[in-house]
Amino acid sequence: MLNIQFFDSHQFVNFIVNPPKDLMVEKTQQEKFTLYAALILEFVWQLRNKAVHEGIKPWKEELKRCVQRKFQEHWKVVSNKSNRSPPPPSASIHWAKPEKNAIKINYDAAVGVEDSAVALIARDWRGNLVFSISYKVNTSLSKRMQKRYDGQLPLL
């Protein structure tokens, strides 16, 4: 087993950002290590804040799944960065009218940690506004997970 000591936070951060090359043979291993370590540190900090400020106890299995999922999301983006084509210019994105006598409904949603929003807008074939509506909802994911952990919510 490897015994590593850090005497200050600078050494610790440097170890994560630039892991020793003799520990990992390939550059990819070093990059994965750095990403995984950074995600674990982020989750530890978030759990610490939830425990201190909200009294929420961490759930080990949920933490493990969250870190794995976030790692996969981040790694997919990082590992495919050279294979991506550039995004289309924003000037080519525009609203298209529906067929005559039809109504087109466009929608969008945003999900945050504490709240979420959804918006709908309907226009007729002439481009005239028929109706629009938006909702903002308190969706505290951390509180929902705590209720699930406490057995108050079913597993969905």
Extents of the domains making up the chain: 9-81, 91-138
Can you say whether the dihedral through the CA atoms of 21, 24, 25, 26 is positive or negative? negative
86 pLDDT band, cuts 50/70/90, is low
pLDDT at 121: 92
pLDDT digits (tens, 9 = 90+) for 22-56: 777 688 888 888 998 999 888 888 888 888 888 88
pLDDT digits (tens, 9 = 90+) for 132-143: 999 888 776 556
Model pTM score: 0.49
Computed over every residue of the chain, the mean pLDDT equals: 80
CA distance 139 to 152: 16
Of the candidates 46, 18, 50, 53, the residue with the CA atom closest to the CA atom of residue 33: 18
Q: What is the 3-state secondary structure (H, E, C) of the chain?
A: CCCCCCCCHHHHHHHHHCCCCCCCCCHHHHHHHHHHHHHHHHHHHHHHHHHHHHCCCCCHHHHHHHHHHHHHHHHHHHHCCCCCCCCCCHHHCCCCCCCCCCEEEEEEEEECCCEEEEEEEEEECCCCEEEEEEEEEECCHHHHHHHHHCCCCCCC
Tell me what percent of the residues of the chain surpass a pLDDT of 70.
79
